[in-house]
Amino acid sequence: MPKLNPEQHKAVITTDTPLLVIAGAGSGKTRVITEKISHLISNGVEAKHITAVTFTNKAAREMRSRVDKLCSSKKTKGIRISTFHSLGLDIIRKEYQTLGFKKNISILDEQDKFKVLQDILDNSQHQLDKAQISPLSWQISDWKNQAVLPAQAMSLAEDAQQQFAAALYEQYQQYNRVCNAVDFDDLILTPLVLFNEHPSVLEKWQNSTRYLLLDEYQDTNTTQYEFFKHLVGAIGQFTVVGDDDQSIYAWRGANPENLFTLKKDFPRLEIIKLEQNYRSNQRILKAANQLISNNPHLYEKNLWSNIKSDEKINVIRCKDEFSESQQIAAEISRIKFKHRASNADFAILYRSNHQARLLEKSLRELSLPYAISGGTSFFSHAEIKDTLCYIKLLINPDDNSAFLRVINTPRREIGTSTVEKLALYANSRHISLFDACFEIGLEQQLNERTYYKLRSFCDWIVSLSDRTQQEDPIAILHEMLQHIEYYDWIKTHANSDKQAERKINNVLELIKWIENSAKKSQEERSLGDIVSRMMLLDSLERNEEEEKTDQIKLMTLHAAKGLEFPYVYLIGMEEGILPHQNSIDTDQIEEERRLAYVGITRAQQQLTFSYCAQRKKYGDVSSTEPSRFLTELPVEDLDWAAVQKKNPEEQKKKGQESLALMKSLLN
């Protein structure tokens, strides 16, 4: 590892005062965190007393592997490196009794949350459509991100619509309580409420967090900040690092002003700035600096790099999105050959997930291996949802969302009117659907045959669930799927044999993944642990845990934060895409500019932009305008002509030639 510069060194050895490292992209902020962990350990701080918090699972894994390289694994055992959400989950799982939960808590994803809201609204005779529920769901999230509880939300509500949302928020929390479930936002809010209400629990967690390190501080929202403040306590043994120019989560309530609040809350706070960028060459960095100079700044920075660059930044003008994806794939193939680069050296970044679709096709045509981060999550496939809901029900039978999903999948002749009666009964008794199935009151409301079907389903769940405690849970999962004849059900409902095979493979992959996670973990992990952790991963992260193959990475600008690649392609540089139309309409260009800044600063050696002259939008082809951000870049560093003159067919042919040549060289 190259030596730390004097400012980085100072940031690493400053341990007696709270510390904020505020610095631009690629200046080694994350490196300061990993080096500091190693420094703390060599100075006698026990690993179990160190907590490092990052924003994504990927960043957490990356940090762990960097720390493992710096220190022996014996010394780092017990260190907590996690995302805010998984730290929150740890606390909830350990303190579930104080919180009044039962042991195995379910985590609702966005889709589950939506379904619960829909359920509550349906039950209260407010049939709203999808477009009306979404803003309510966002409003609840917003309150949770600002540490606003239902009662406060009600008193803050300014009009009838907000009052309605606040009442729904209250009901939603109660409903989840009955189901022993929390949503993503609760993973931070619930521990915060716990800390507020139980000083002795807080003290315990403060004692076990002697030193806290926090990456990407600019993206913390109010609830996360309060949670952090509680954990570090008045002593404030912490290092936070951040860059206000990379704040890209305003839509999730991130509040970059927390950078100032820190100084107010911790008057002894020391601030260190880092100014050398070690990632990007001078041309790329100049472009990034010039772009972001159009935004107002909380802290002035003067970021420089001494990495020389020969090539200019390319701008590819394409006829349309089809030609864009072909040209990008061809260009990657050419560069790969020219520089003998690996696939993993390339990243294609975009504003929205749907932009990946055509790219995939073009990359496949040139036999370029790739991996997509996020996008249509593995977990959104129906067969995965079904299987997971069965598993969730084994873990937490009170999980109403899981119960409702599987009660009639595969069909067991329990009709909607039965489910409605069950829901009404459970609601009136404030108990879960599952618990209701054991009550005489319900038995009296249903005919004998129907009640028997419900009851035997629940008895079966209980017996399987009990057996997972003593027997191999994986064998039980297979047995469960066999018992419900799930694979036959998939076969009869799929559109083709191929689709059925894919779906069955997905289910098998899910179970394999659970099995591997159990084996890999150092500690004994229950099915409940594994599944709740799994809910916090997205699809690429799951793949990455599995394998480290040499693939081109495709991801959104949001997902690219903190990462770096030798060759970066930023596609769709058009008005309406980046900046996004919604942000143009709501005057949020600065956040979009920061997103572009994050994208540009991922590049180490070469950066390429692309935009299309026309694009299909809502079914119609319309002409587009290059992004205003392109015009904000230093014109002398851009090569607008580099690739645009070549025709895409010729490009594709060239790509295929390079591929053939490469293959022949390899043989």
Ligand X SMILES: Nc1ncnc2c1ncn2[C@@H]1O[C@H](COP(=O)(O)OP(=O)(O)OP(=O)(O)O)[C@@H](O)[C@H]1O
| CA pair distance 460, 419, nearest whole angstrom | 18
Check 553, 561, 602, 652 and give the catalytic one: 602
Q: Which is nearer to Mg ion, 23 or 329 (CB)?
A: 23
For residue 558, what are the contacts with CB-CB under 8 A and spacing of at least 6?
248, 249, 595
Q: Which is nearer to ligand X, 69 or 483 (CB)?
A: 69
Residue 254 labelled as part of a binding site: no
- DSSP secondary structure code for residue 524 in this structure: -
70 binds ligand X (CB under 6 A): no
Distance of CA 52 to the CA centre of its chain: 17
Residue 51 labelled as part of a binding site: no
- Minimum CB separation from ligand X for residue 26, in Å? 4
Check 35, 109, 215, 219 and give the catalytic one: 215
By C-alpha distance, which of 80, 71, 89 is closest to 213? 80
DSSP 3-state of 641: coil
Looking at 18, 28, 191, 375, which residue binds ligand X (CB under 6 A)? 28
User: Residue 267: is the preceding peptide bond cis (ω within 30°)?
Assistant: no
Active site residue 215: yes
| CA pair distance 573, 3, nearest whole angstrom | 37
| CA pair distance 472, 401, nearest whole angstrom | 26
- Minimum CB separation from ligand X for residue 306, in Å? 10
Residue 88 labelled as part of a binding site: no
- Count of H-run helices and E-run strands, the chain: 32, 17
220 binds ligand X (CB under 6 A): no
| CA pair distance 67, 245, nearest whole angstrom | 27
Neighbours of 158 (CB within 10 A): 7
Q: Which is nearer to ligand X, 70 or 494 (CB)?
A: 70
| CA pair distance 336, 622, nearest whole angstrom | 33
Q: Which is nearer to ligand X, 5 or 152 (CB)?
A: 5
- Work out what residue 25 binds among ligand X, Mg ion, none; the CB cut-off runs from 5 to 8 Å by kind: ligand X
Q: Which is nearer to Mg ion, 63 or 182 (CB)?
A: 63
Backbone region of residue 180 per phi and psi (left: phi > 0; alpha: psi in -120 to 50; beta: other values): left
- Minimum CB separation from ligand X for residue 506, in Å? 34
Looking at 12, 20, 25, 514, which residue binds ligand X (CB under 6 A)? 25
Q: Which stretch binds ligand X (CB under 6 A): 23-31, 89-97, 264-272, 610-618?
A: 23-31
- Minimum CB separation from ligand X for residue 563, in Å? 7
Residue 78 labelled as part of a binding site: no
243 binds ligand X (CB under 6 A): yes
Binding to ligand X by CB under 6 A, coded x per residue (else -) over 488-527, reads ----------------------------------------
Q: Which of residues 539-568 bind ligand X (CB under 6 A)?
A: 562, 564
Q: Which is nearer to ligand X, 351 or 561 (CB)?
A: 561
Q: Which is nearer to Mg ion, 220 or 355 (CB)?
A: 220
- Work out what residue 18 binds among ligand X, Mg ion, none; the CB cut-off runs from 5 to 8 Å by kind: none
By C-alpha distance, which of 397, 446, 455, 391 is closest to 424? 446
| CA pair distance 354, 356, nearest whole angstrom | 5
- Work out what residue 450 binds among ligand X, Mg ion, none; the CB cut-off runs from 5 to 8 Å by kind: none
| CA pair distance 542, 380, nearest whole angstrom | 14
| CA pair distance 223, 226, nearest whole angstrom | 5
- Minimum CB separation from Mg ion for residue 558, in Å? 14
Residue 279 labelled as part of a binding site: yes
Q: Which is nearer to Mg ion, 30 or 247 (CB)?
A: 30
| CA pair distance 379, 186, nearest whole angstrom | 20
| CA pair distance 26, 5, nearest whole angstrom | 13
Active site residue 602: yes
Give whole-number Cα distances, 289 to 220, 286, 623, in Å. 24, 5, 30
Place of tokens 């010394």: 75
29 binds ligand X (CB under 6 A): yes
Side chain identity at 306, as an amino acid letter?
N
Q: Which is nearer to ligand X, 231 or 600 (CB)?
A: 600
Active site residue 351: no
- Work out what residue 392 binds among ligand X, Mg ion, none; the CB cut-off runs from 5 to 8 Å by kind: none
Contact predicate 639/609, CB 8 Å: no
- Work out what residue 278 binds among ligand X, Mg ion, none; the CB cut-off runs from 5 to 8 Å by kind: ligand X
66 binds ligand X (CB under 6 A): no
Secondary structure (H, E, C), 270-281: EEEEECECCCCC
Contact predicate 262/609, CB 8 Å: no
- Minimum CB separation from ligand X for residue 520, in Å? 26
Rounded to the nearest 5°, which phi and psi values hold at 459? -60, -40
Looking at 12, 19, 20, 30, which residue binds ligand X (CB under 6 A)? 30
Check 7, 216, 244, 399 and give the catalytic one: 216
146 binds ligand X (CB under 6 A): no
Binding to ligand X by CB under 6 A, coded x per residue (else -) over 277-306, reads -xx---------------------------
Check 209, 237, 239, 246 and give the catalytic one: 246
- Minimum CB separation from Mg ion for residue 600, in Å? 15
By C-alpha distance, which of 244, 274, 273 is closest to 261? 244
19 binds ligand X (CB under 6 A): no
Contact predicate 9/257, CB 8 Å: no
Q: Which stretch binds ligand X (CB under 6 A): 19-27, 83-91, 382-390, 567-575?
A: 19-27
- Minimum CB separation from ligand X for residue 148, in Å? 30
What the block records as the tokens of 45 is: 């701080």
Q: Which of residues 579-638 bind ligand X (CB under 6 A)?
A: 601
- Work out what residue 243 binds among Mg ion, ligand X, none; the CB cut-off runs from 5 to 8 Å by kind: ligand X
| CA pair distance 527, 525, nearest whole angstrom | 7
Backbone region of residue 253 per phi and psi (left: phi > 0; alpha: psi in -120 to 50; beta: other values): left
Residue 26 labelled as part of a binding site: yes
Residue 356 labelled as part of a binding site: no
Active site residue 30: yes
Size of the site for ligand X (CB under 6 A): 19
DSSP H helices, 124-185, are 130-145, 150-156, 160-178
- Minimum CB separation from ligand X for residue 600, in Å? 11
- For helices 527-534 and 382-395, give the axis angle rounded to 10 degrees: 140
What the block records as the tokens of 63 is: 């940090």
Contact predicate 513/542, CB 8 Å: yes
- List the binding residues: 23-30, 279
- List the binding residues for ATP: 23-30, 279
Q: Catalog residues that contact ligand X under the rule CB under 6 A.
A: 2, 4-5, 8, 23, 25-31, 243, 246, 278-279, 562, 564, 601
Catalytic site residues?
29-30, 215-216, 246, 602
